[in-house]
Structure 1
Amino acid sequence: MWYNTKATALLGIDYPILQGPFGGGLSSVELVATVSNMGGLGGYGAYTLEPQEIYEINRQIRAATDKPYNINLWVSDTDAVNGTVTDEQFKQAQQLFKPYFEEAGIPLPGKPASFASRFENQLQVILDIRPKVFSFMFGMLSADVLEQCRKLGIITVGAATTLEEAVALDASGVDMIIASGFEAGGHRPSFLASAETSVTGTFVLLQLIKEKVKVPVIAAGGIANGRGIAAALTLGADAAQIGTAFLACDESNALPVHKQMLFSKAAERTVLSRAFTGRLGRGLSNRISTELSGKEKQFLPFPLQTTFMSPLRKALIEEEKLNMVFFWGGQIAPLLKHTKAKQLMASLIEETGKF
């Protein structure tokens, strides 16, 4: 049967369907549990959480499902040298974004506090709670950490945006690799070259990686229905990871207006931009992403740009000036149909079996 793959055997799931783990507060326990309980692999993006928060989320997930699930972290969670920027760099960003803050009727925020990476502390939590699956982005894990995960029975999954990244992950000893195509919504998790030069499409990337690596490969980006899953499996994928379609479901923690936008005509046009977080990511095109294209050198590094833009985003949403808000979403958004995760999963399973 189509669902008997290396991925389902390794992960202990019924169907090779993975729910993308959304960071930045967009994941929810309910969504993870719904997908896992229906035979897929739910995923929770935890890179913004403090260690104690991850312990608590994990407790809630385990109370909601006894099936396998995935916890996701970012190996590199800051681009700011020594956690901050110079006053001159910050003034440049203030001047660039000043008109938008004025239009929203709010004052320019002060310089963001220095940011210290949380990854090492978060990683210790993963080793403590031992989820069935630990996926990571923006880098690689050390041989020591991978060995610890193996001993604890944790399956490790790394994300690659290029063939070179996949080969490096394979050589490091990960259990599975995500082939993350540029069609995908959210951040581009590149780590060997710039995200701007790491923009291969999902199905090309999948085929390139399958030729060179030994471990199972998960296709991610531009997949939202059974036809897409079947196509990925035909090209050699052992599973498909779906993000935008699950993000648009009622069970995700995205704002209602975010979900509405994913089902609107605005979703027909997406763009890769650094203007909102400092890292390149795909979302629905808007005025700011268009007007500030080419001015990336004046943005703050991740995650300071996120902190800087947070009050503006909040004000714009409250004032319903949605043509300036960046809503995460992939290129496949115009094909979205379902608002309930159970219905989406049932549809994915049924449709894939037809091809």
Structure 2
Amino acid sequence: MWDNRVTELLNIEYPIIQAPMAGGVTTPELVASVSNAGGLGMVGAGYMEPGQLRSQIREIKKLTDKPYGVNVFIPGDFRVSKFDFDLAYNRLQPFRDELYIKEEVPVLPDPLEDHVKFAQLLDVIIGEKVTVCSFTFGIPAEEVISKLKSEGVILVGTATSVNEAEMNEKAGMDIVVGQGSEAGGHRGTFSENGGDHLLGVMSLIPQITERVSIPVIAAGGIMNGKGVIASLCLGADGVQMGTAFLTCKESGAHKVYKEAVLQASDSDTVLTRAFSGKWARGIKNQFIKDMEESQVHIPDYPVQNKLTTQIRKAAASRNDSRFMSLWSGQSLGLAKNQTVKELFRDIVTQAEEIKASF
């Protein structure tokens, strides 16, 4: 039941992809464990420097000889006035005071630096002969796609609408991930407002599969064998799972972060721009509540992300979940503290039992 276009193209046993969660969650141990279990482990390289990515890839190679992939963020252009930047910085002062942070006003992010780093990350991916590269927040330029394909890299795009899925296929992506609004972390929206276009995975996947011919991966709220079978029935060729792997023992998520996910209820997540300036789903905490109440304009990513960096780091170092970004999908009530091997065993067993009952 497991053999399909995705398992064949990616050379994996099960059409299960570990979501590329940036920010330290996707340790070499997590990525390699997923690949060794028969899925596709993915490095979340969105915030990494090129040297960090190269080191992590080389660690992964020591732990597995199976396929794995790397995800990168498409850099965007942004503008923010000095007035709005200072206003956003000053709004965050009470949080810095609470956490005893002494911080000068940070330098405005430079869009050019993001584009340079993006190119350098791609050079690492090619140089280290990574077989799969996925993209979030947009579609790479035609010359980038051609270069990667000439090196034999399989390309995976992200879409939160049918239109974005069609754009990915037209651009030359080999696979597209249909990200439903249930998904934890940042929404991959790039052609519209990520807070407005909120199609759930059950509505999104059947519509995408009717309009594109490339394989489609379902993402958003999928945690177990039931979710896998449901996704396949909707027409997907595989699934991408984040929160389920986030709480695994091999995950690099902070212990307070894991505990918050494991203790949360099904109604505890919200979509917010408070931490980064991009719409993302996570557990509602004190930071999000205070930012919502303030009514102060939040600058777009990556400006707000830069401004909250020290707050998030200080909160994590103090084990203070009130001011940490606790990204999680809507099905967090199904999360468990277990190994990747145990998670795969449970997913496969449940899925095969459901399939046998048809």
Bin for the TM-score computed over the shorter chain: over 0.9
Tell me what 1:106 maps to: 101
More deviation, 5-14/336-345: 336-345
Q: CA 1:109–1:263 in 2, change beyond 3 Å: closer, same or farther?
A: farther
More deviation, 29-38/345-354: 345-354
Tell me how far apart the structure 1 counterparts of residues 189 and 341 of structure 2 sit (CA, whole Å).
32
Q: Deviations over 1:65-88 (max 9, x none)?
A: 111111110112x5533xxx4331
TM-score between both structures, scaled by the size of structure 2: 0.92
Tell me what 1:190 maps to: 189
Gaps (5+ residues) in structure 2?
none
Tell me what 2:124 maps to: 125
- C-alpha displacement of 1:268: 4.1
Whether the 8 Å CA contact 1:79–1:302 is kept in 2: the answer is no
Whether the 8 Å CA contact 2:74–2:118 is kept in 1: the answer is yes
- C-alpha displacement of 1:108: 5.5
Counterpart amino acid of 1:95?
N
Tell me how far apart the structure 1 counterparts of residues 209 and 309 of structure 2 sit (CA, whole Å).
40
Counterpart amino acid of 1:197?
D
Whether the 8 Å CA contact 1:135–1:158 is kept in 2: the answer is yes
Does 2:9 correspond to 1:10? yes
Whether the 8 Å CA contact 1:160–1:178 is kept in 2: the answer is yes
1:54-133 alignment runs, 5 A limit: 54-76=53-75, 78=76, 80-81=78-79, 85-107=80-102, 109-115=104-110, 116-117=113-114, 118-133=117-132
Q: CA 1:323–1:54 in 2, change beyond 3 Å: closer, same or farther?
A: closer
- C-alpha displacement of 1:152: 1.9
Tell me how far apart the structure 2 counterparts of residues 75 and 335 of structure 1 sit (CA, whole Å).
31
Q: Deviations over 1:155-213 (max 9, x none)?
A: 10000011100011111111000000110011011111111122111121101100000
Whether the 8 Å CA contact 2:74–2:136 is kept in 1: the answer is yes
SS in 2 for 1:293: helix
1:131-280 alignment runs, 5 A limit: 131-265=130-264, 268-280=267-279
- C-alpha displacement of 1:311: 2.3
Whether the 8 Å CA contact 2:223–2:331 is kept in 1: the answer is yes
Tell me how far apart the structure 1 counterparts of residues 317 and 145 of structure 2 sit (CA, whole Å).
44
Tell me how far apart the structure 2 counterparts of residues 148 and 105 of structure 1 sit (CA, whole Å).
47
Tell me how far apart the structure 1 counterparts of residues 177 and 152 of structure 2 sit (CA, whole Å).
19
Q: Deviations over 1:28-51 (max 9, x none)?
A: 100111010111111101121222
Q: Deviations over 1:48-71 (max 9, x none)?
A: 122222222211111211111111
Tell me how far apart the structure 2 counterparts of residues 169 and 143 of structure 1 sit (CA, whole Å).
11
- C-alpha displacement of 1:90: 2.2
Tell me how far apart the structure 2 counterparts of residues 325 and 151 of structure 1 sit (CA, whole Å).
41
Q: CA 1:296–1:37 in 2, change beyond 3 Å: closer, same or farther?
A: farther
SS in 2 for 1:71: strand
Gaps (5+ residues) in structure 1?
none
- C-alpha displacement of 1:25: 2.0
- C-alpha displacement of 1:102: 2.8
1:315-334 alignment runs, 5 A limit: 315-334=314-333
- C-alpha displacement of 1:266: 5.6
Does 2:336 correspond to 1:337? yes
Counterpart amino acid of 2:71?
N
SS in 2 for 1:300: coil
Counterpart amino acid of 1:159?
T
- C-alpha displacement of 1:23: 0.8
Size of the alignment, in residue pairs? 350
Q: CA 1:129–1:315 in 2, change beyond 3 Å: closer, same or farther?
A: closer
Counterpart amino acid of 1:310?
T
Counterpart amino acid of 2:87?
Q
Q: Aligned Cα RMSD in Å?
A: 1.9
Q: CA 1:265–1:138 in 2, change beyond 3 Å: closer, same or farther?
A: closer
- C-alpha displacement of 1:144: 2.7
Tell me how far apart the structure 2 counterparts of residues 259 and 188 of structure 1 sit (CA, whole Å).
21
Whether the 8 Å CA contact 1:132–1:155 is kept in 2: the answer is yes
Tell me how far apart the structure 2 counterparts of residues 243 and 306 of structure 1 sit (CA, whole Å).
21
Whether the 8 Å CA contact 2:277–2:300 is kept in 1: the answer is yes
More deviation, 117-126/209-218: 117-126
- C-alpha displacement of 1:291: 3.2
SS in 2 for 1:241: strand
Does 2:342 correspond to 1:347? no
Tell me how far apart the structure 2 counterparts of residues 266 and 319 of structure 1 sit (CA, whole Å).
24
Counterpart amino acid of 1:192?
S
Tell me how far apart the structure 2 counterparts of residues 337 and 26 of structure 1 sit (CA, whole Å).
16
Counterpart amino acid of 1:256?
K
Q: CA 1:79–1:285 in 2, change beyond 3 Å: closer, same or farther?
A: farther
